[in-house]
Amino acid sequence: MQNPFQYGKVVSDAYFTDREEEFASIVAEVKNRHNLVMYSPRRYGKTSLLLKITQEMKARGWNVIYLDFYRVTSLHAFIEIYAREVFYQSDNKWKSGLKKIASLVKGIHPVVSIDSLGNPAFSISFDPVADLPQTLESVLNLTEVLNSKQKWLVIFDEFQEITKLNGMGFDNHLRSVIQHHQKSSYIFSGSRYHMLMELFNQPKKAFYRFGKMMHLDKIPVELMKAFLIERFASTGIKLGEDIAQAIIDRADNIPNYVQFIAAETWQLVWLNKSSLSLELVDQAVQTVLDNQKDYFMQIWDTLSIQQKKTLVALSKDNSNPYSLDYQKLHNLGATSTIQGAIKRLIADEIIVFDNDVYLFSDPLFKLFIQLRIVALRRFT
Ligand SMILES: Nc1ncnc2c1ncn2[C@@H]1O[C@H](COP(=O)(O)OP(=O)(O)O)[C@@H](O)[C@H]1O
Ligand SMILES: [Mg+2]
């Protein structure tokens, strides 16, 4: 029997729940050619939702380009990946697609080799004397000029990573070209709130107010509970509401970690024939912590005392770390010191600021601190 839960990767179909409102509103925006900026911390389900949008728009006859900026390490890489994605939309007409791309994009030589399975594999070589900004411009304009009737959706995932390429003025080029596009809609998705805000909400920045900002929230608790109950039921196991709630609580309702802890719990029930109980959920958490303890300990060891104290405090209570009461209660020192510590923790992505609260980006690390650090008083 296959585990009814999946985590750490893009999910669809039975492993995917809710997002109906977000889905409908994104589809409507895309159809109206509005650009969108979607933000949430990591592992809330952005890429999975974007995959669903991709499938929907394709079913409606659109071409869709999906590009993950983690894969983009240079302007050359961007041009190659982008041209390839456009090429792959030409399906069985790939020969004419290749010709068109070769004639429309200056400064590159696209080639296609056929692999052992008979599939075309696309790559390009660059003209040594190519004017890169011009090549970038013509590759971005492909969606507008390839076919006058075709509509395109272009998705840039983890878009904040563009800031790594900024030395080249990449964001300015990108904006100056795509702002004129009529047939293409753009979705910019990202997981670093600060960086996205800087790109899209600062008057001096290239992408100032370029798209409507949309915050992807957690999935409502009631729907998440129903999802857990239904997935357990699909393997013949009855999950009570209180246990579903316990799984969600331990995962801070972050979708990835809800499925992670649920998967471990299911495993204990199914493989060890244990009976489902609250204790079993805790046993599942302990198993995960055992598996990850070296990794968590390594992170912990890199932190300063102030960061450790701040994390210990936040693991117990994240209500208002800048209040005097909080500082006294947790023996944290001056506000500026806490601010400094939190700033570093955010830069290292240990903490995220979402919906006005500070959260552990990995709730298991929070549990590690509670159960393995604080309980054993190892932090001073
Ligand atoms: N709609 C959803 N329903 C249930 N679980 C989800 C959903 N979206 C995401 N998840 C869970 O979160 C994990 C990470 O999803 P992903 O789309 O990669 O997030 P992100 O792109 O925001 O980092 C998935 O493997 C899955 O466990
Ligand atoms: Mg993602």
Question: Residue 148 pLDDT > 60, yes or no?
Answer: yes
pLDDT, one tens digit per residue, over 294-315 is 999 999 999 999 999 999 999 9
Question: Residue 162 pLDDT > 70, yes or no?
Answer: yes
Mean pLDDT of 145-169: 89
- Ligand number with the minimum distance to the CA of 256: 1
Pocket test for ligand 1, best of 5, 6, 10, 11 (most atoms within 8 A of CB): 11
Pocket test for ligand 1, best of 17, 38, 44 (most atoms within 8 A of CB): 44
| Residue nearest (by alpha carbon) to ligand 1 atom 15 | 45
In the prediction, which pLDDT does 193 show?
85
In the prediction, which pLDDT does 92 show?
67
Question: Residue 332 pLDDT > 80, yes or no?
Answer: yes
Measured from the Cβ of residue 38, the count of other Cβ atoms closer than 10 Å reads 25
pLDDT cut 90: percent of the chain above it: 74
Question: Residue 376 pLDDT > 80, yes or no?
Answer: no
Question: Residue 292 pLDDT > 70, yes or no?
Answer: yes
- Ligand number with the minimum distance to the CA of 9: 1
Question: Residue 379 pLDDT > 70, yes or no?
Answer: no
Residue 302 sits at the vertex; the CA angle it makes with 191 and 167, to the nearest 5 degrees, is 45
For residue 260, name the pLDDT band (cuts at 50, 70, 90).
very high
Which atom, in ligand 1's list, is nearest to the CA of 42?
23
- Tell me the whole-structure pTM to 2 decimals: 0.94
Pocket test for ligand 1, best of 6, 19, 43 (most atoms within 8 A of CB): 43
Residue 350 sits at the vertex; the CA angle it makes with 345 and 355, to the nearest 5 degrees, is 90
Which atom, in ligand 1's list, is nearest to the CA of 256?
12
- Ligand number with the minimum distance to the CA of 52: 1
Q: Check: CB of residue 359 under 8 Å from CB of residue 321.
A: no
Three-state DSSP at 360 gives strand
Of the two residues 23 and 377, the one the predictor is more confident about is 23
In the prediction, which pLDDT does 168 show?
67
For residue 111, name the pLDDT band (cuts at 50, 70, 90).
very high
Q: H or E segment at 284?
A: helix 278-302
Least reliable range by pLDDT among 10-24, 26-40, 202-216, 255-269: 202-216
Of the two residues 375 and 333, the one the predictor is more confident about is 333
Which atom, in ligand 1's list, is nearest to the CA of 15?
4
- How many whole angstroms from 228 Cα to the centroid of ligand 2? 22
Q: In whole angstroms, give the CA distance from residue 54 to residue 63.
A: 9
What's the mean pLDDT when you consider all of the chain?
93
N residues, the chain: 380
Of the two residues 150 and 115, the one the predictor is more confident about is 150
Spell out the domains of the chain, with CATH numbers in brackets.
Answer: 19-215 (3.40.50.300), 221-374 (no CATH)
Mean pLDDT of 244-256: 98
- How many whole angstroms from 81 Cα to the centroid of ligand 1? 24
Which atom, in ligand 1's list, is nearest to the CA of 18?
1
Mean pLDDT of 260-279: 94
Which atom, in ligand 1's list, is nearest to the CA of 227?
4
Question: Residue 118 pLDDT > 90, yes or no?
Answer: no
For residue 205, name the pLDDT band (cuts at 50, 70, 90).
confident
- How many whole angstroms from 147 Cα to the centroid of ligand 1? 34
The pair phi, psi for residue 358, each rounded to 5°, is: -90, 125
Phi-psi sector, 107: left (phi>0), alpha (psi -120 to 50), beta: left
Question: Residue 33 pLDDT > 80, yes or no?
Answer: yes
pLDDT, one tens digit per residue, over 36-88 is 999 999 999 999 999 999 999 999 999 999 999 999 999 999 999 999 999 99
- How many whole angstroms from 184 Cα to the centroid of ligand 2? 22
In the prediction, which pLDDT does 80 show?
95
Question: Residue 377 pLDDT > 70, yes or no?
Answer: no
- How many whole angstroms from 51 Cα to the centroid of ligand 2? 10
For residue 164, name the pLDDT band (cuts at 50, 70, 90).
confident
Question: Residue 251 pLDDT > 80, yes or no?
Answer: yes
Question: Residue 167 pLDDT > 70, yes or no?
Answer: no
In this structure, the dihedral spanned by the alpha carbons of residues 72, 77, 81 and 82, taken in order and rounded to 10 degrees, is: 90
For residue 347, name the pLDDT band (cuts at 50, 70, 90).
very high
- How many whole angstroms from 107 Cα to the centroid of ligand 2? 32
In the prediction, which pLDDT does 378 show?
57
Measured from the Cβ of residue 192, the count of other Cβ atoms closer than 10 Å reads 21
Which atom, in ligand 1's list, is nearest to the CA of 48?
17
For residue 334, name the pLDDT band (cuts at 50, 70, 90).
confident
Mean pLDDT of 338-350: 95
- How many whole angstroms from 158 Cα to the centroid of ligand 2? 7
- How many whole angstroms from 295 Cα to the centroid of ligand 1? 22
List ligand 1's pocket residues with C-beta within 6 A.
Answer: 6-11, 16-19, 40, 42-48, 255-256, 259
